[in-house]
Amino acid sequence: MTSKEIRQQFLDFFKSKGHLIVPSAPLVAKNDPTLMFNNSGMAQFKDFFLGNGTPPSKRIADTQKCLRVSGKHNDLEDVGFDTYHHTMFEMLGNWSFGDYFKKEALAWSWELLTEVFKLPKDRIYVSVFQGDEKDSVPFDQEAWDIWASMVGEDRIILGNKKDNFWEMGDTGPCGPCSEIHIDLRDADEVARISGKELVNADHPQVVEIWNNVFMQFERMADGSLVSLPAKHVDTGMGFERLCMAIQGKQSNYDTDVFSNTINFVAEKAGKKYGEGKWEDIALRVIADHIRAIAFAIADGQLPSNNKAGYVIRRILRRAVRYGYTYLGFREPFMHSIIPLLAEQFDGVFPELVAQQEFVERVILEEENSFLRTLETGLTRLDKIIAETEKNGRIAGEIVFELNDTFGFPSDLTALIARENGLSIDEEGYKIALQAQKDRSRKDSTKEATDWTIISDEDFDFEFVGYDETEASASLIKYRK
Ligand code: ATP
Ligand code: MG
Ligand code: MG
Ligand code: MG
């Protein structure tokens, strides 16, 4: 089954169960100050769950373009290194707004996976919330009973608050969730160690594919939980992971969602995918990042020097540098992937086809501008790396200089440092950045024209602040 057929079957299935099929919201979150990019299917329906507004139907399904590169969900550092986390991915989802609940939702997910997609029942594990006395949230007996009648108790795993309980915030709707995991390992491996033990253990072939969230409580300001009068269902399934399972692959990148792009880029570089560790990482990073960049631009988010635009610029520069260092690209290459993507998503996300030439042009310009300084910047950084002691840190001023003079976002410098067993002085970098900001503010306030505008345009300071905890968390993850 092709990925296009898989997506369509998902939508057709839920249509047959009375769901209204709606388009994906744009990748860039609109009218939501708490969110830069849509990072889950439910984001566009948040208001309905909060009781503001009425959904067009009590049952909705769609495929949502998601981006997880900042804030609460930041998977950027895993992309290319693992085989199942992307920056941009499609989240297939079905929702009930005060309509059906656990029984239907779980039965339908089981029916879709095992009867429509014919995934093997003995390779599927499900998780149920175990309860948390301290937080006064009960064990999800209801989900347990439903699953036990379908899959048998031995295939159910109990999960804690981190994996199996969803909350919108400190207050507001919340509830238990139930995840579906699939074991894609060889029979030998399965015989050796039970898949049940590998669920949620970062095993690349035992992966979570679907999450069913049941909003049944409301957390009050005093911390207590009350039952919601209208209960809701919110589900999210990783489309690329589902394709991996159905197409019998061991990596999302081996499915037809990515293989055309990978083959195209590999051929252009005169390489073969699967023959070298770093070349493969570079190919995966590029095949992943181009989608995030293309859809962000098609949805109106141009690369720029701050906020969401800077996130897109950083992703693009990251990909260009991987291509430069590991695939030998000295000329722009990312833009040439766009026609392939436009064709692939024709009829699914029409915004890309509609703006194909514009998207290509923006990417080409970005590539050209970064490639002008990339080589000198890398030479400068190589020299610094050679001078830095083993396991040492690159000084904040250098990170700043690389950013200011050569357009190296600090996380790109951090990434290259990491490849060489080094880290960067993030604090020092922020101080240098702030010093420049102060200098420039002083300068601009001296001009006393009507048009004295103190702008953040040229600084990435705000963005660095936005996801610094996630960024440093992933640095720590890598250093160990
Ligand atoms: P994981 O534990 O694998 O990081 P998650 O629990 O963070 O996934 P959810 O927030 O539950 O993911 O999202 C619903 C589904 O979206 C997941 O079950 C998974 O199939 C998919 N998904 C989540 N993050 C990614 C990603 N970065 N790339 C591709 N698919 C993803
Ligand atoms: Mg995650
Ligand atoms: Mg998870
Ligand atoms: Mg999950």
Q: How does 328-366 read in b/e, with b if 16+ C-beta sit within 10 Å? A: ebeebbbbbbbeebbebbeebbebbbebbeebbebbbeb
Residue nearest atom 5 of ligand 1, based on CA coordinates? 208
How much distance in Å is there from the Cα of 405 to the middle of ligand 3? 40
Give ion ligand 4 contacts, CB < 5 A. 211
Cα(63) to ligand 2 centroid in Å equals: 18
CB-CB contact of 95 with 49 (8 Å): no
What local confidence, expressed as pLDDT, does residue 440 receive? Answer: 79
pTM here?
Answer: 0.90
Break the chain into its structural domains and give their ranges.
3-253, 286-479
Q: Cα–Cα distance between 225 and 88 in angstroms, integer? A: 34
Q: Give the separation between CA 444 and CA 474, rounded to whole angstroms.
A: 37
Complex confidence, ipTM: 0.99
Q: What is the pLDDT of residue 50?
A: 85
**CA 73 to ligand 2 center in whole angstroms:** 6
Q: Which residue has the tokens 């702008």?
A: 455
Q: Atom 12 (ligand 1): residue with closest C-alpha? A: 211
pLDDT at 161: 93
Q: Which portions of the chain are predicted below pLDDT 50? A: 446-480
Nearest CA to ligand 1 atom 26: 85
Cβ(241) – ligand 1 distance below 6 Å: yes
Q: What is the pLDDT of residue 444?
A: 58
Residue identifier of the C-alpha nearest atom 7 of ligand 1: 73
Distance CA 38, CA 23 (A): 14
Amino acid 51: pLDDT: 84
| Topology classification of domain 3-253 | BirA Bifunctional Protein; domain 2 (3.30.930)
pLDDT of 443 reads 65
